[in-house]
Chain A
Amino acid sequence: MTDRIQHFLLVFDHQAGSLIQTREYGEDADAAIAAYAATEAEFGDRKDIEVVLIGSDSFETVKRTHANYFDGSVSVSKYLAGI
């Protein structure tokens, strides 16, 4: 089966509230998984840093399905405003 998933490695800094790295691996899932493990090891026990590997058809979709790593990509309910 063809792997038509595009792989994106995100490194999110929870203290800064922003992404500090975004790496694209295209359809090369093996390279993406190897980089995922290496980057997790690099940040070790840093609880404020989250490394995550997400696959989707496009980066635009990732911005919506994993909007917690991005600013302003989803409309937020009035009840959640200011949180």
Chain B
Amino acid sequence: MSVSPEEHERALAVLLAHRAAHRLPLTKATMGLRSVVKTEHCVVEVSQRLKRVPTIIEKLTVREPTMQLANMQDIGGCRAVLDSIDEVRRVQRRLSKNRPPLRVSDYISESRRSGYRGVHVVVQYDGRPIEVQLRTQVMHEWAITVERLGGRLGEDLKSGYGPPEVLDLLGGISEVMAIEEQGGVVPTEALTRLSSLREAALPFLGGGHR
């Protein structure tokens, strides 16, 4: 389907106005999250972001082509990085009590295929959905490493795109980090497997750690 420059410009203007309309609801959600985190006596590490235009367009055209802009629930997102799974659950409970969530995605009980872990709670402020991400420091370390590596490789690794060797390694690392975080002991076989996965992924890692 061809789109004229005028149509493209009009569509972009709609997208930008829609994104900007999330500003105040997002700030309210962030303030609400800060307050809940503080009430639960956790260290307050909370930030917010409005989704990037290229990411919005990619989601609407490639990743979820049946999705409509008006239905996207993560144009505005905020994030708390907490110390433990217990803290995540406490904050999650209090958030849900304060404001019934539109949706809860529990990627701690069941991680995403990529290995991503965390809890996403979609709450509504001023009629706009805002995605609240709750992560532990351990989950955060994995996620930021994957985001950074994905950027370097030009692949959306977190959504499961990219060289299978890299995705398998990241998934394997997430598994062992999850075991340790929950107080378990990583089986020797898992460590051996991780070592092979690392060997296999090395050529695809794009030059190693910067």
Instruction: Please classify the interface of chain B as helix (H, G, I), strand (E, B), loop, or mixed, using the class held by over half of its residues.
Output: helix
Q: Are B27 and A37 in contact (CB under 8 A)?
A: no
The answer for the CA separation of A76 and B26 in the assembled complex, in Å, is: 29
Partner of A62, one of B47, B137, B148: B47
Q: Are B45 and A29 in contact (CB under 8 A)?
A: no
Q: B208 in the interface, Cβ–Cβ < 8 Å?
A: yes
Q: Are B144 and A74 in contact (CB under 8 A)?
A: yes
Counting chain B residues whose Cβ lies within 8 A of the other chain, the interface size class is 35 or more
Q: Are B54 and A40 in contact (CB under 8 A)?
A: yes
Q: B124 in the interface, Cβ–Cβ < 8 Å?
A: no
Q: Which residues of A contact B79 (CB under 8 A)?
A: 65
The answer for the CA separation of A64 and B144 in the assembled complex, in Å, is: 10
Q: B31 in the interface, Cβ–Cβ < 8 Å?
A: yes
Q: Are B49 and A64 in contact (CB under 8 A)?
A: no
Contact mask for chain B residues 31-58; partner A; CB cutoff 8 A; 1 contact, 0 none = 1001000000000111111101110000
- Chain A nearest CB from B35 CB (Å) reads 12
Q: B173 in the interface, Cβ–Cβ < 8 Å?
A: yes
Counting chain A residues whose Cβ lies within 8 A of the other chain, the interface size class is 35 or more
Q: Are B138 and A33 in contact (CB under 8 A)?
A: no
Q: Which residues of A contact B208 (CB under 8 A)?
A: 82-83
* CB within 8 Å for A47 and B154 given contacts A33-B23, A37-B53, A40-B52: yes
Q: Which residues of A contact B141 (CB under 8 A)?
A: 74-77, 80
Of B28, B47, B169, most A-chain CB atoms within 10 Å? B47
Residues of B within 8 A of A (CB): 16, 19-20, 23-24, 26-28, 30-31, 34, 44-50, 52-54, 79-81, 137-138, 140-142, 144-145, 147-149, 151-152, 154, 169, 173, 176-177, 194, 205, 208-210
Residues of A within 8 A of B (CB): 1, 3-5, 12, 14-15, 17-18, 29-30, 33, 36-37, 40, 47-48, 50-57, 61-62, 64-68, 71, 74-77, 79-83
